[in-house]
């Protein structure tokens, strides 16, 4: 039997959960150390459900609400949290006084809409990366965040910022060990079996206008007739996605933006193309990015989906030392300048679901999260600069006064 979109004003599928407390915390309030945090999610797709499982693995946390424009996602979510409420319209989730915090894992072009609405509703927010789709979106999100005046906790989903490697990197990245840092070389390569394109998602038979709120998916993007492939494979299309820059470069960039406090690049250049998967995707599968930062540090990133030999990693290059980061992190001195310095290996371990746990801990304590809004803002602008360079076929520049890309 085909699932249909409910017509009721509340617009939720399934039975309302019983036993949810009626005495509710003030939206945005700091919760006590032992108080249960009630979490909702907008966008429980593949990545969203990973976040749900992370949240459910943390103590004193309960998933109480799911919102998604596709009926199948809500039905799947109910299997994970049977007592949770489900909504097709996320605005009803935000009206729900039983939700303390919201996880946002929707397509990138919808982040601004969902983030600003969640902040205005007084919810704490875990915003998946990349935080903002465009510079305008980043500014609008910043305005909402500032208006909240710190009443809500915000965590941006660059989970490496909660990695134990941050502590090691801060220990290594000192003038006495590194000297003058001038470059960060980074890369991320993957491969898939022949005939299985990277990122390709199945188009299910029930992805129809009856089961997907198409206009809500389009948001501010150009209006068009329903297209199940564009919905299922939104990462392929510029209207909704920043491609691999927004999916993966952002993680490697955010780690070093946090550790070295790098500011928005002065310029960015990106080249590449769809060299491998000729399946209608618009975003490149092979690319190279170079970004010049005001600190006189050049960040480069190369990536492709046709070979995984190099994997993922970064090399921070200083006159007196090198930091090598991949699954492990280590410091290697430049013997030409530090002949007696020893190599150092990272020692700090990362706890399970560390980034999610940090978000929840900060809701209880009121402390700043490991990946605060400002880091997300800078990373978003840098990523947009790379995409604009590729699409315009030229080097682009950042005007820090006008806050514009030219």
Please state the pTM of the whole predicted model.
Answer: 0.92
Q: Give the pLDDT score at 33.
A: 63
Q: Could you give the CA distance from residue 328 to residue 43 in angstroms, rounded to a whole number?
A: 32
Closest C-alpha to 257, from 356, 186, 192: 186
Q: Give the pLDDT score at 35.
A: 86
Q: Give the pLDDT score at 351.
A: 86
Closest C-alpha to 380, from 280, 294, 276, 265: 265
Bridging pattern class, strands 267-273 and 321-325: unpaired
| Six-digit token string for 346 | 């990272």
The per-type count for the chain, helices as H runs and strands as E runs, is: 13, 16
Q: Give the pLDDT score at 331.
A: 99
Cβ atoms of 62 and 38 within 8 Å: the answer is yes
Give the SS3 label for residue 163: coil
Closest C-alpha to 14, from 95, 68, 52, 56: 68
What are the beta bridge partners of residue 331? 323, 344
| Six-digit token string for 401 | 């006064």
Q: Give the pLDDT score at 130.
A: 98
Q: Give the pLDDT score at 283.
A: 99
Torsion angle of C-alpha atoms 109, 58, 369, 132, degrees rounded to 10: 0
Please give the average pLDDT of every successive group of 10 residues along the chain, which has 406 residues. Answer: 38 34 42 84 98 98 98 97 98 98 99 99 99 99 96 98 97 98 99 95 97 98 98 99 99 98 99 97 99 99 98 99 98 99 95 96 97 99 99 99 98
Residue ranges and CATH numbers for the domains of the chain are 164-205+236-350+373-405 (3.30.360.10)
Cα 48–352–350 angle (5° rounding)?
Answer: 120
Cis previous bond, 175, omega within 30? no
What are the tens digits of pLDDT across the range 257-278? 999 999 999 999 999 999 999 9
Radius of gyration of the chain (CA): 22
């Amino acid at each position: 039997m085909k699932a249909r979109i409910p017509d009721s004003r509340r617009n939720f599928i399934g039975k309302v959960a019983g036993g949810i407390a009626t005495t509710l915390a003030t939206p945005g309030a700091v919760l006590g150390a032992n108080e249960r945090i009630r979490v909702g999610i907008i966008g429980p797709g593949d990545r969203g459900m990973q976040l749900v499982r992370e949240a459910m693995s943390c103590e004193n946390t309960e998933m109480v609400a799911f919102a998604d424009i596709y009926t199948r996602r809500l039905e799947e979510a109910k299997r994970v949290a049977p007592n949770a409420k489900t909504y097709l319209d996320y605005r009803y989730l935000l009206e729900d006084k039983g939700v303390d915090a919201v996880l946002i894992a929707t397509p990138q072009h919808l982040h601004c809409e969902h983030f600003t609405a969640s902040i205005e509703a007084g919810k704490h927010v875990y915003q998946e990366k990349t935080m903002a789709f465009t510079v305008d979106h980043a500014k609008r999100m910043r305005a909402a965040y500032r208006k909240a005046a710190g009443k809500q906790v915000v965590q941006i989903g660059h989970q490496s910022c909660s990695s134990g490697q941050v502590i090691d990197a801060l220990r290594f990245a000192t003038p006495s060990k590194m000297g003058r840092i001038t470059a960060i070389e980074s890369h991320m390569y993957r491969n898939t079996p022949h005939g299985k394109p990277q990122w390709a998602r199945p188009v299910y038979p029930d992805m129809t206008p009856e089961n997907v709120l198409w206009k809500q998916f389009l948001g501010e993007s150009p209006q068009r007739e329903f297209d199940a492939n564009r919905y299922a494979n939104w990462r392929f299309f510029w209207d909704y996605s920043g491609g691999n820059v927004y999916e993966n470069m952002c993680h490697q960039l955010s780690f070093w933006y946090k550790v070295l406090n790098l500011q928005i690049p002065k310029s960015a250049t990106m080249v590449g193309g769809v060299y491998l998967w000729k399946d209608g995707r618009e975003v490149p599968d092979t690319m190279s990015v170079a970004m010049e930062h005001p600190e006189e540090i050049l960040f480069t990133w190369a990536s492709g989906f046709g070979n995984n030999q190099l994997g993922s990693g970064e090399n921070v290059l200083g006159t007196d030392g090198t930091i090598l980061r991949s699954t492990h992190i280590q410091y290697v001195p430049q013997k030409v300048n530090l002949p007696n310095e020893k190599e150092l290996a990272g020692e700090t371990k990362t706890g399970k679901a560390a980034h999610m746990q940090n978000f929840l801990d900060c809701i209880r304590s009121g402390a700043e999260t490991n990946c605060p809004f400002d880091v997300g803002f800078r990373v978003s602008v840098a990523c947009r600069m790379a995409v604009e360079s590729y699409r315009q076929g030229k080097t682009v520049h950042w005007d820090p006064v006008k806050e514009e890309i030219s």
